Amino acid sequence: MKTSLTAAVLAAPIAVVLSACSQHKPATEALRPVRAVEIRYGNATEKDRYAGTVRARHEVDQAFRVGGKVKQRLVEVGQRVQEGDVIAVLDDNDYRLAEETARQQLIAAQARAKQAVSDRERLQALKTDGSVSASDDEHAESGELQAQATAEAQTRQLELARNRLKYTVLHASQSGVVTAVKFEVGQVVAEGQPVVSIANENEPEIVVDVPEDDLASFKTASYRASLASAPGDVFEVTLRELAGQAAQQTRTYRARLKPVTERDLPLGATATLLVEHTLGGHSLATIPASAITQNNGQPAVWVVHRTNSGPVGSVELKPVAVHAYRNDQVLISGPAAGELVVTAGVQKMAPGLHVALADITPDKAAGGESPTLAATTPAGPVAGTNNTTAHEAAP
């Protein structure tokens, strides 16, 4: 009797405890909150930045057509000259003597030619009575022709001497501004040696050097430019000339661009050329660089599949193609438009993991805007990127 009562007393608290435990459900695992970006595709553009200088389209090196000692220099750097203005003068004493010598030689040759004509005429008069042989007549005729040819040659020699005398005065071949002076008074210059450079400032151009790996995209791009003295004044330019052969030392291609609308540009000024072109030829999406992970050494992203269109979903690892890097963003292709890509905490994801969508950020290509690439150099080589120092913001 006592044993049964004791057992009943002990069983009552145990039943209460068991009843309480059966009413308490086990706690469910907390969902990991993630941030995601929605994929939107658009035409991606790349912007490159090149440093260049303003130069004249027509810049001519002036040189004497004869050599000699410089007697006068009449121009300075920066001076504006008109076509035909005297630039410099050589000492012409030797050329005057050469002209006088040629003149005297011409007089002598003309006298011999006149004498030869008179001799031939006298022989012709004697030939009628047979006192002059045919051989003597031929010699006279030959002497007359030689004397006349010598006189003609001396005439040309005198013209050459006069021309060389004129060449001792150097005239400007075009109107413009003097950009370089490479001689001084008293200096002996050689024939054809450049002494002065004159640039036509009415047709300024921007000159840049294009790397070989940028050449194809550069040809089809659009161009804008600005000067270092006025960085806020951006104007459109058009490609006028692109070298067909790379420079031997730099292995770059010289490009010359002119303003679309006529404007004055100071020669020698530093210019910045902004080049924008479509990247790849197909639509790309922009995502934060933090969303990129790897799968077997290849770039990949975690894609969130929603559950019943709510803020809960599971993640799946999908490969992507990386086309280019920005400072903190990546241009990719692969995921379908509208899919959600995890942008933070990708190292803690696992296939099938259930997550809570805490924040969804639309891709920058949404709303019809095109993702724009300001070309930068990534930490490692990426297919489709351009790692030249000519690109904007290249580290």
Domains and CATH numbers, the chain: 32-48+280-374 (2.40.420.20), 49-58+203-278 (2.40.30.170), 64-91+168-202 (2.40.50.100), 93-164 (1.10.287)
Residue type, 286: T
Cα separation of the two ends of the chain: 93
Q: How confident is the model at residue 274 (pLDDT cuts 50, 70, 90)?
A: very high
Q: How confident is the model at residue 359 (pLDDT cuts 50, 70, 90)?
A: low
Encode pLDDT of 94-134 as tens digits.
999 999 999 999 999 999 999 888 888 777 777 766 667 77
Dihedral angle sign, alpha carbons of residues 352, 354, 357, 358: negative
CA distance 247 to 211: 10
What whole-number percentage of the chain has pLDDT above 90? 43
CA distance 313 to 326: 29
Answer with the residue of higher pLDDT: 221 or 364: 221
Q: How confident is the model at residue 362 (pLDDT cuts 50, 70, 90)?
A: low
Is residue 330 within 8 Å of 316, Cβ to Cβ? Answer: no
The pTM (predicted TM-score) of the whole model is 0.58
Answer with the residue of higher pLDDT: 344 or 82: 82
Encode pLDDT of 247-261 as tens digits.
999 999 999 999 999
pLDDT at residue 163 in the model: 95
- Sheet with 80-81: strands ordered across: 59-63, 194-199, 176-181, 80-81
Distances (CA, A) of 385 to 133, 279, 320, 326: 96, 10, 16, 10
Mean pLDDT of 308-336: 84
